[in-house]
Amino acid sequence: MIEVLGYVALGVGVGALSSFLGVGGGVILVAVLVTASDFAQQEAQATALAFMVPTATIGVLAARRHGLGDLRASAVLGAGGAAAAVGGALVALALPGDVLRDVFAAFIGVLGLTMLLRPGQADEDSPAEDHP
Amino acid sequence: MTLILIGAASGFLAGLLGIGGGGLMVPMLVSVAGYRQRHAHAVSLGAVVVLALAAAITYGAADEVRLGTAAALFLGGVVGAPLGALLLSRVNDAVARRAFGALLVGIAAYLLLT
């Protein structure tokens, strides 16, 4: 029970941070799960993706209320990316956990440096409620 | 065609690293496809639903998804997102983004060294 409450609390933090900073919840979530809990790298990534499906859906609905978004363009992006997403996941599943962890670390290191050096770049005039 | 390529690059990254892919999609939609920032965010979010679902099903088939944890996180996330939006209107977000960037660099170093 306490563990479940911990994850709910983590969800609050991830939701707030990602809508505040404009970075996807996935980056934060995977980083926290592999650093501070017993999740293996693949498990953390899998669980973050499962978390994102309903969360992003709510974000899309919120954006539509503000007249933002274009479902057709989203569908084209999604169609172009779905097979690649499956491919990426298969590569991740085939890699040893510690190698995947290093790849992930390199990615967030670059992302972190970008945010550190050019903090304003990614979210000028972006509405917070559009990316939970 | 441009959208399909952007989707493919973001999708691969989403599946490989367990992220949404918005961090790549939004800047590309703005710079390559000419979307406005706000609009790009919304369009990217719609694509994230599809990309994350495709990747999550793949991981799920390998029995890696912890559904109970994902559900608990989602419950919290629904509460947290409006809090972040509220913060955004009150706090200097350039400072916050710098701080978060530094934190990510720290986590990256920790993960690489341990």
Those of residues 85-124 in A touching chain B at CB distance below 8 A are 85-93, 101-109, 111-117, 119-120, 122-124
pLDDT tens sequence across A68-79: 889 999 999 999
* Tokens found for residue A55: 């969360």
* Tokens found for residue A112: 């972190």
ipTM: 0.90
Question: Would you list the domain boundaries of chain B?
Answer: 1-65, 67-114
* Tokens found for residue A90: 């298969």
**Using a CB-CB distance cutoff of 8 angstroms, which residues of chain A are in contact with residue B59?**
42, 45-46, 49-50, 89, 92-93
Q: What are phi and psi of A96, to 5 degrees?
A: -60, 145
Those of residues 79-98 in B touching chain A at CB distance below 8 A are 79-85, 87-89, 91, 93-98
Nearest-5° angle of CA B97, CA B100, CA B101?
Answer: 85
B16–A31: do the CB atoms touch at under 8 Å? Answer: no
- Nearest alpha carbon to residue A55 among A95, A9, A108, A18: A18
Contacts with A114 (C-beta within 8 Å, 6 or more apart), sequence order? A121, B101
Q: Quick one: pLDDT at residue B99? A: 86
Helix (H) or strand (E) holding A30: helix A25-36
- Contact criterion met (CB below 8 Å) for A8 and B72: yes
Entry pTM: 0.88
Q: What is the mean pLDDT of residues A101-115?
A: 93
B52–A49: do the CB atoms touch at under 8 Å? Answer: yes
Helix (H) or strand (E) holding B37: helix B37-61
pLDDT tens sequence across B91-105: 777 888 888 889 899
Q: Summarize chain B as % helix, strand, coil (round to 5).
A: 80, 0, 20
- Nearest alpha carbon to residue B55 among A75, A30, A49: A49
Judge whether residue A127 has pLDDT over 60: no
Q: What are phi and psi of B92, to 5 degrees?
A: -70, 105
* Tokens found for residue A118: 């050019």
